[in-house]
Structure 1
Amino acid sequence: MNSLIPGPEDLFLFHEGNLFQSYRVLGAHPAVIGGVAGVRFAVWAPHARQVRVVGDFNCWDGSAHPMQKISTWGVWFLFVPAVREGEYYKYEMVTSSGTLLYKADPYAFWSELKPGTASRVVSLEGYPWTDQAWQTQKRTCQAYRSPMNIYEVHLGTWKKNPDGSHRTYRELAEELVAYVKDMGYTHIELLPLAEHPYDRSWGYQATGYYSVTSRFGAPADFMYFVDRCHSAGIGVIMDWVPGHFVKDEHGLRQFDGQPLFEYNDPAKAEKTEWGTLSFDYSKPEVVSFLISNALFWFDRYHIDGLRVDAVASMLFLNFGKPREQWVKNARGGEENLEAIEFIKKLNQTVFRYFPDALMMAEDSTDWPLVTAPVHDGGLGFNYKWNMGWMNDMLKYMELDPYFRHGRHQLLTFSFMYTYAENYVLPLSHDEVVHGKKSLLNKMPGDYWQKFAGLRTLYGYMMGHPGKKLLFMGGEFGQFDEWKDLEDLDWELLGYDSHRGMQRFVRDLNRVYLHEASLWELDHRPEGFSWIDPHDHKQSIVTFMRKSSKPEDQLIIVSNFTPVFHEKYRIGVPAAGDYVELLNSDAGEYGGSGQRNAGMLKAGKRPWHNQPFSLQIKVPPLATVFFKPVNLHRNSTSQK
């Protein structure tokens, strides 16, 4: 924008769907015009007969501040002198039928603390960022060949104050960041932080897409949180919800008295399953709004990635709808053609401006090439949540170990497609709510077996190709499912079993960070090879992870039954010595203490299609990592 008043070029690009920093043009911005300090307001409301600004500064009487329509397609503008930062405001709409509506600003950067619904004036300029070293390091880092272990967090319930109030962004910047660093995670993923009216929507039903929620502080406080994360070497990913929005009267629904951000056709607009409305991706101004919003979080808050929620609901017109409400596209199919084009344009634009961004699709479908570039026919994301792996593994782990031998394919099937996309393996909040039970309580058996089974799962997950994600509380074995109005059950750390689980996850995370074979070739087939996927009778799998250095390998054995095998033979590719690097059955983690002590020497006895083999102990319900040392290179298999 070349002037303080939106110019013709900005307006043209906005109405073409190509104004990718529309938050600089629309909304409320402190400014000085003609030597007078005040705030310039701009809003898109093409169906309104009149728009007025109301707020503290005019006692909520809009007659003093009518806006001027400055574009044929409905952008309104007004400069109001003497308005200061922190003041509340809304837009008073006179609809085509003469009805008065009072709407929060779609481009507001700050919102009134709930239950209030007004917008607040604030400048996002001038924060003294100290993350230059992080930004430089990120430009040289190759995400695909780097560790990525994500701690998923709902800030409202990670830890509350004794009186039940929320920790602030600044308090969390100290306590949460220190905890995540100590636990060995590389990234924090935050459930949506866009302003939302209802706590129990967890942020997934937003009203203020540009307004970081005021529950935990002001915009500068969230900047401080991100800055502290980066200072600690932790990336920040935020859940982002471009698929639908909430129907609250002060929000986007029928913003100027008629459908605007949503589809005009109610059959396409309604998200029946969630009681929300779909964005209309065929409207260029909505495309400008959403793509600008994605860029906004990278630009203004320095976040490192977006996890794009509910992609399946965007790809398909009839997602979650009863059959009698189904509609078809112009070609007779169920795909949402304009949403598909929006997704491609979104990813292309984000990577144009922020080449090192993480764009992660939460997609439950088998849509092909989700993480392929748009120019190669893909949707353009660089990561996709592996929902198939998650569903299969949790289904398998909930089985009584006695019956697991008959469902062995649930363990191994994911390897048939693990390189089809760039995957993140998620054990997310969605799996520990609505009666699904916590991860720990999903495990069958007695108390000991539950903890042992969960440690086994975590170890197997860490060995499986793909980046990792775990929802808060899972790291210490939260026994109850997530209570979305209360904080985590931190008092459980007073018990040995939960403290041992937390210690195991911390040690597992640190092994992951240190061992390049667990992440460097995550998305390339040469980074993985089976040793034995076939021992279904004993529910044991053995496999190898590799890095670009031939000598850098790990052998991983997972036993999914409570049976201890004192002498179990596994094939290995080279002669030499092997050591037990990590054992989830160790006594300090709450296990039975069946360890493989000292150096284990590979014998020249072919096994599992390998030229050498080891005899090991396989503990009950455990995952064990073995690392080769002092390999005899001239005897390494060339297969």
Structure 2
Amino acid sequence: MRYEISEVIKKDQVMELVFGNCSKPKDLLGRHFIMEGQVISAYHPDAVKMEVISEDGKHYPMDTVERQPVFSLFLPHKRPFYYQIHMTFHDGNTYICNDPYSYEGLITEEEEKMFSKGIWTEVYHKMGCHKVKLGDTEGMYFAVWVPGAKRVSVVGDFNFWNGMLYPMHKMENSDIFELFIPGLSCGQFYKFEVKNAQGEITQMVDPYAVMNEEKESGASRMFDLKRFHWEDMRWLSERYRGNVLKRPMSVCEVRISELDSPDEKVQETVQDMGHTHILLRGTSEGEKFGAHKGFFEPAFYGNTPDTMRFFVNRSHKRNIGVLLEISPEYLRRAVDLFEKKNPQALNYLLANVLFWIREYHIDGFVFRGLREGAADFLTKAKEIIKKEDSNILFIGEQTTDKNLKSFFDFEWNLEIKAGVDKYLKADIHNRKKEYFQLSQPLMNGDFSHALLLLNKEISIEKNNLFKDSFIDKKASCDYDKLTGVRMSYGYLMGVPGRKAWDLHSHENISSQEYVKSLLRIYQEYPALYEYDPMRAPFEWINGMDAESFVLSFIRKSPSGRDNLLFVCNFSEEEKKHYRVGVPKNGKYTLISNSDAVEFGGEGRGEHQEVKAVSECWDLRPYSIEISVPPLATLIFKF
């Protein structure tokens, strides 16, 4: 071995490389400038001959080092030049490639320090696998954090899954291993092969992968996130200026497994109904965001990042926000990582949540399966995300944990809808004693931050909050049942709180039209959505009339104009000449009747516009006399 080569290559390093124990292959492979010129070295376990091909086409034979498949060349000049390695193998086949070890790493020393401190929030831009162009050479850059590893290699369908071919280089001040491999392209599969301190070898998928194989033991897949073109800047700019407590919010739940095609049917339906947001939910088959998928991989139809981004982009162009459900499994894994108090793990988790906001333009997160220890993680996550964008929404289950209550922007309210379900399921002769199931949940509490699921049967069972509804699932539902459905929808629309619905629950056309009309009213009247802390938005007229099974209440607008009166008849008898107390004199105009003919009803109680009279009723100075159809909700404007 020439003296000049021995300045770069040491015997012990060669043996570490050959036996698969080398953590810093760039110390001996690639190009090294020395006092006398430059040394170029390369390695392949099956090579018998190597040459350097310079940019002008000249071939420079390389010498073996220590009788191993490590080859080296000394050139007596320091002029940098582009070169390739020409390899000849035992079977006579040859291969020409760019030298992976001749390229500098992309992670800076400052980024490495931030990662070690747990504050590198854009870590996903370089960790994982990324398509890059270094000089005139395109390829894939890999980086992964593997503490305590003796050797980490990139393996895949491009190198026969051989961990001896592309050992990665360990950075100086961390356990980050990195390598740029020229010539690789999107669509190829890869993993990281890890040899630990005990000599055990395992393969792992990329924790930062944005795409993985479907099968359980599948590999990660190379993908270029930079190629997608967003067209939703108008939506984002409006979102940044928004105050969610001043705007209507109607969430439509969509199961990810139902999005099996790229057409616009879902967005068209959601927009036509009048919803403001789509909630992407998982399914019982485990296709949950963050369940068996990687933290950075969307569980979406087509199994590619761009299909989900296309869906979000198109939703935003239709003025529809997109929320992601965080599954209990994802949250469990996240909390387990967080509780290790490892700065790198914390960095991974917080960067992951920011990733969905920055790379997928997600508008909020819905958390399920809250567990002990979640408060600390969620508080830290909220801190960094609200700093990024204060309008990102956090929605969670009802909880008695004060820390979590203060964390969520909105909280699922289960008692109100559960009371309606229990009442409607009761035998008609036993409903009187269930009457207060309707009003009791509304007697106390601030519902400005509540989110009501209007069309699912509520179950308090753990991790099974929303079961299939026992009403309104088929067009063949009997008349009385559909009448009760519409009545309950009208009542729940008047209850304080934001609204949530299931995409496919309104298969009955007339019921669907009634819901659309309710959502139009919801959008039009600030009394139903705008919150003023100085003015209570909800006021009972009578929530104690168990004899007649009628509930009446007022929704008050912050401006004092266009207030709404709700009268809900939960009995199967029409209430003729029914008197309701009202707060002031003037006209009360009917704007919605769940028994209207266009909604499948009989048209009773329509065309009502009544004038209040000075007759004290329900402890109010004025009152009106109206006719209330059976199982119906009437909404009056005043």
2:184 is paired with a residue whose SS is coil
Aligned to 1:571: 581
Identity %: 31
Question: Which amino acid letter does the alignment assign opposite residue 270 of structure 2?
Answer: V
Q: Please say if residues 596 and 606 of structure 2, whose CA atoms lie closer than 8 Å, have aligned partners that are also in contact.
A: no
Q: Following the alignment from structure 2 to structure 1, what is the Cα–Cα distance between the partners of residues 105 and 442?
A: 56
After TM superposition, the structure 1 = structure 2 runs for residues 109-508 of structure 1, keeping only pairs within 5 Å, are 109-114=210-215, 117-157=218-258, 166-167=260-261, 170-171=262-263, 174-192=264-282, 199-203=285-289, 205-213=291-299, 215-216=301-302, 218-241=304-327, 244=330, 263=336, 280=339, 282-311=341-370, 313=371, 316=372, 336=373, 339-361=374-396, 363-368=397-402, 370-372=404-406, 379=407, 381-419=408-446, 422-427=449-454, 431=458, 436-440=467-471, 447-476=478-507, 498-508=508-518
Deviation at 1:281, TM superposition (A): 5.3
Question: Which amino acid letter does the alignment assign opposite residue 474 of structure 1?
Answer: S
Q: Following the alignment from structure 1 to structure 2, what is the Cα–Cα distance between the partners of residues 429 and 211?
A: 29
Q: Following the alignment from structure 1 to structure 2, what is the Cα–Cα distance between the partners of residues 523 and 422?
A: 12
Q: Following the alignment from structure 1 to structure 2, what is the Cα–Cα distance between the partners of residues 540 and 69?
A: 72
Q: Please say if residues 242 and 309 of structure 1, whose CA atoms lie closer than 8 Å, have aligned partners that are also in contact.
A: yes
1:110 is paired with a residue whose SS is coil
TM-aligned CA distance change 1:65 to 1:178, over 3 Å = same
Q: Following the alignment from structure 2 to structure 1, what is the Cα–Cα distance between the partners of residues 189 and 599?
A: 53
Aligned to 1:271: none
TM-aligned CA distance change 1:228 to 1:244, over 3 Å = closer
1:340 is paired with a residue whose SS is helix
Deviation at 1:540, TM superposition (A): 1.6
Aligned to 1:599: 609
Most deviating of 511-520 and 399-408? 399-408
Question: Which amino acid letter does the alignment assign opposite residue 547 of structure 2?
Answer: K
Q: Please say if residues 143 and 176 of structure 2, whose CA atoms lie closer than 8 Å, have aligned partners that are also in contact.
A: yes
Q: Please say if residues 4 and 33 of structure 1, whose CA atoms lie closer than 8 Å, have aligned partners that are also in contact.
A: no
Q: Following the alignment from structure 2 to structure 1, what is the Cα–Cα distance between the partners of residues 242 and 180?
A: 44
Q: Following the alignment from structure 2 to structure 1, what is the Cα–Cα distance between the partners of residues 418 and 344?
A: 38
TM-aligned CA distance change 1:140 to 1:605, over 3 Å = same
Question: Which amino acid letter does the alignment assign opposite residue 600 of structure 1?
Answer: V
Q: Please say if residues 152 and 428 of structure 1, whose CA atoms lie closer than 8 Å, have aligned partners that are also in contact.
A: no
2:619 is paired with a residue whose SS is coil
Q: Following the alignment from structure 2 to structure 1, what is the Cα–Cα distance between the partners of residues 467 and 329?
A: 25
2:295 is paired with a residue whose SS is strand
Judging by fraction of residues, say which structure has more strand: 2
Aligned to 1:491: none
1:62 is paired with a residue whose SS is coil
Q: Please say if residues 595 and 603 of structure 2, whose CA atoms lie closer than 8 Å, have aligned partners that are also in contact.
A: yes
Aligned positions, number: 530
Most deviating of 123-132 and 505-514? 123-132
Q: Following the alignment from structure 1 to structure 2, what is the Cα–Cα distance between the partners of residues 234 and 544?
A: 29
Under a length normalisation based on structure 2, what TM-score does the superposition of the two structures give? 0.77
Gaps of 5+ in 2: 1-103
TM-aligned CA distance change 1:16 to 1:450, over 3 Å = farther
Q: Please say if residues 455 and 505 of structure 2, whose CA atoms lie closer than 8 Å, have aligned partners that are also in contact.
A: no
Q: Following the alignment from structure 1 to structure 2, what is the Cα–Cα distance between the partners of residues 12 and 401?
A: 69
Question: Which amino acid letter does the alignment assign opposite residue 497 of structure 2?
Answer: G
Choose 1 or 2 for highest CA Rg.
2
Aligned to 1:482: none
Where relative contact order (Cα < 8 A, 6+ residues apart) is larger, the structure is 1
Question: Which amino acid letter does the alignment assign opposite residue 340 of structure 1?
Answer: A
Under a length normalisation based on structure 1, what TM-score does the superposition of the two structures give? 0.77
Q: Please say if residues 26 and 43 of structure 1, whose CA atoms lie closer than 8 Å, have aligned partners that are also in contact.
A: yes
Deviation at 1:5, TM superposition (A): 2.5
Q: Please say if residues 535 and 558 of structure 2, whose CA atoms lie closer than 8 Å, have aligned partners that are also in contact.
A: no
